[in-house]
Structure 1
Amino acid sequence: MMDINRETTTVLVIDDAPESLSLINDTLEKAGINTLVALDGKQGLAIANRLKPDLILLDAIMPNMDGFETCKILKASPGLATIPVIFMTGLVDTESVVKGLGIGGVDYLTKPVRPAELLARIAVHLKIAQVTSDAHQFLDSVGQHVATVDNEGNFLWATPETHALLASALGINEGAKQLLTAHLKSWLALNPKVDNTTQLAGDELPLNVTVVEARGHGEWLLKFSDATVIPGELLLQRTLNLTQRESEVLYWLACGKANKEISEILTISVRTVNKHLEQIFPKLGVENRTAAAGIAIRILS
């Protein structure tokens, strides 16, 4: 099993079959993983909302509210959408597998669950979830207006800056939210490419929405910006006759970011950042990053 912090890891098991619950609970407890148990979807949702588990094991076939409906509600909740869901069921037909993965499940286990396989799958998806969480925290820290949405236009995650921008541009009423969701759903159905942009006509100001990345399982990473304001990178590019990438590097340099931070923000190597700076300095007639940042700050101001 991959190395995870078992003492702080909590897994919620939602299953109406006592024998299955007993096997899974014993397996997780022996592995030192904290376990929460729910006997139906409604109870599982209540526990998830209250305790925010790290991962959910979800039985697909249950009375009243089945696993598929439970997963849909989980993925529609901003506070729960990023929790990985592994489906469990005795069904092995392709239709059920596709349905489970299509509504947000990250994996699929057939019953009877094999303990070694269960622990291995849990470890893999907890690791992936941690990487995703780290990326979200990093984007939060650099103040990017970005969000993750699904194919239906529902927000799965967004930085605080994005929430603030949307509130100022569109308002906070339910009608505006529904229009935003509908617009994004229609646009994403066209399968836009990376860097493709659409415009939202907000009550207060128009917004541009740009595709940053098309992710698996029907998820999209989008960037939001005020359509009435020239982005800082574009302003530097036009004013200083820089390439697009050079202007991006200079912009983040002016924001006080170190080369390593710039490389992470732009997903390029530190060496590439240095090469761009070597091109920027002579274009600006300066010899160091402090002087270059000073010129950029004056223009941006």
Structure 2
Amino acid sequence: MVDAMSAKVLVVDDSPEVISMLNEMLTLNGFQVFIALGGEQALSISAQITPDMILMDAMMPGMSGFEACEQLKASPELMNIPVIFMTGLSDTEDIVKGFDAGGVDYITKPIRHEELLVRMRSHLGNAKRAAHAHQVMDGQGLMTLCIASNGEVEWATPQIYRIFGDQVEQLGTRLQASLQGRAPGDEPVMVQVNDDQVRCHLIDQDESGRCLLKVDDPRQPDDSTKLVHSFGLTEREAEVLLWIVHGKTNKEIAQILGLSPRTINKHLEQVFRKMQVDNRTSAAFTALQCISQRLDVSEAM
């Protein structure tokens, strides 16, 4: 039985039989079930309740499931909801269309209950972990975004939207074109957004080409400058500390920077001494507090 933890699931289908079957099955497995009979209604209900997951019929009269999903993903408030497409279509072109629209998975009709529950559990777990990471970054004022291999912004922290507004998608597209052949730890990428030159740091990249990036506020000193100014760190010590903030181990930092783990340990000894902390966790927390503060630019120069 799926550990649903009362997750809210929106079922979108124009078939009464499918809706009845899924409503009964999901309710028995502990989910809160909401129903929409079409794409427009799904958008309206999603805006009101923010479901934890959406099971979306691909082909419906009026607005198709593909179109509804694209509109969901265009909304910063709703874009992180995982959408699983339910379809009688098995052609590769239709499957690709579902993923291009922003779906995380698909399941073919007739629906096999156990298979659907397993897929739901997996994607709900992924969404929960991602949401926790977003909350941590949001709470610490970090400017972070994730872009897909095609340059589409999958998510971004609120600070990104506050500073760049409707230019966030443009930022993602320009970043995608500049990230070819780059790896975490390489020199920052500079992209033009309106009148600003924006410095972006590649933090991580997965096998599908999805990239996690830290973006510097163009109207603020970069994070390394803040740490150097606040704690008297060297540039290399600040660089090591920033990788600690982003969750990297000493071994990973050594690989990224082309140094030995022993050298990383030596740098961290100096970091701890200068910051007057005893461990990595305290150093990361103190660094995050420093990074989240807005400085008078003249003070950090």
Give TM class, smaller chain: 0.7 to 0.9
Distance 1:218 1:90 in 2: 29
The code of the aligned residue for 1:206 comes to: Q
Distance 1:98 1:67 in 2: 14
- Tell which deviates more after alignment, 131-140 or 234-243: 234-243
Distance 1:34 1:19 in 2: 19
> For residues 241 and 157 of structure 1, do their structure 2 counterparts lie closer, same or farther at Cα, with a shift above 3 Å needed?
closer
Q: Deviations over 1:184-212 (max 9, x none)?
A: 32441455324450222544x53223333
Residue 11 of structure 1 deviates from its aligned partner by 0.2
Structure 2 match to 1:3:
3
Structure 2 match to 1:207:
198
Which residue, out of 22, 43, 46, partners 2:44? 46
Distance 1:52 1:72 in 2: 16
Structure 2 match to 1:290:
276
Counterpart check, 1:267 vs 2:253: no
Distance 1:291 1:110 in 2: 55
Residue 230 of structure 1 deviates from its aligned partner by 4.9
Distance 1:114 1:291 in 2: 54
- Within 5 Å, give how 1:213-252 maps onto structure 2: 213-215=204-206, 219-227=210-218, 230-233=221-224, 242=234, 244=236, 246-250=237-241
Which residue, out of 161, 164, 169, partners 1:181? 169
Distance 1:221 1:18 in 2: 41
- Within 5 Å, give how 1:122-137 maps onto structure 2: 122-137=120-135
Residue 136 of structure 1 deviates from its aligned partner by 0.5
Distance 1:130 1:291 in 2: 31
Q: Is the 8 A contact 1:208 1:224 kept in 2?
A: yes
> For residues 268 and 115 of structure 1, do their structure 2 counterparts lie closer, same or farther at Cα, with a shift above 3 Å needed?
same
The code of the aligned residue for 1:233 comes to: S
Distance 2:223 2:263 in 1: 17
> For residues 16 and 124 of structure 1, do their structure 2 counterparts lie closer, same or farther at Cα, with a shift above 3 Å needed?
same
Q: Is the 8 A contact 1:83 1:129 kept in 2?
A: yes
Structure 2 match to 1:279:
266
Distance 1:186 1:235 in 2: 26
Q: Deviations over 1:80-100 (max 9, x none)?
A: 100000000111111111111
Q: Is the 8 A contact 1:242 1:280 kept in 2?
A: no
Structure 2 match to 1:60:
58
DSSP-derived class of the 2:106 partner = strand
Q: Is the 8 A contact 1:104 1:217 kept in 2?
A: no
Aligned-pair identity in percent equals 35
- Tell which deviates more after alignment, 128-137 or 216-225: 216-225
Which residue, out of 132, 137, 140, partners 2:138? 140
Structure 2, unaligned stretches of length 5 or more? 255-260, 291-298
> For residues 200 and 23 of structure 1, do their structure 2 counterparts lie closer, same or farther at Cα, with a shift above 3 Å needed?
same
DSSP-derived class of the 2:18 partner = helix
The code of the aligned residue for 2:204 comes to: E
> For residues 288 and 31 of structure 1, do their structure 2 counterparts lie closer, same or farther at Cα, with a shift above 3 Å needed?
same
Q: Is the 8 A contact 1:198 1:210 kept in 2?
A: no
Q: Is the 8 A contact 1:15 1:21 kept in 2?
A: yes
> For residues 282 and 117 of structure 1, do their structure 2 counterparts lie closer, same or farther at Cα, with a shift above 3 Å needed?
closer
> For residues 51 and 212 of structure 1, do their structure 2 counterparts lie closer, same or farther at Cα, with a shift above 3 Å needed?
same
> For residues 282 and 198 of structure 1, do their structure 2 counterparts lie closer, same or farther at Cα, with a shift above 3 Å needed?
closer
The code of the aligned residue for 1:198 comes to: M
Distance 2:90 2:66 in 1: 15
> For residues 67 and 271 of structure 1, do their structure 2 counterparts lie closer, same or farther at Cα, with a shift above 3 Å needed?
closer
TM-score (norm 2): 0.75
> For residues 14 and 151 of structure 1, do their structure 2 counterparts lie closer, same or farther at Cα, with a shift above 3 Å needed?
same
Distance 2:174 2:3 in 1: 42
Q: Deviations over 1:127-180 (max 9, x none)?
A: 0100000111111122211123456655443323333443xxxxx5xxxx35x5
Structure 1 match to 2:12:
14
Q: CA RMSD in A?
A: 3.8
Q: Deviations over 1:222-274 (max 9, x none)?
A: 32214576534257679978573x32355x6xxxxxxxxx8463322699899
The code of the aligned residue for 2:173 comes to: K
The code of the aligned residue for 2:22 comes to: I
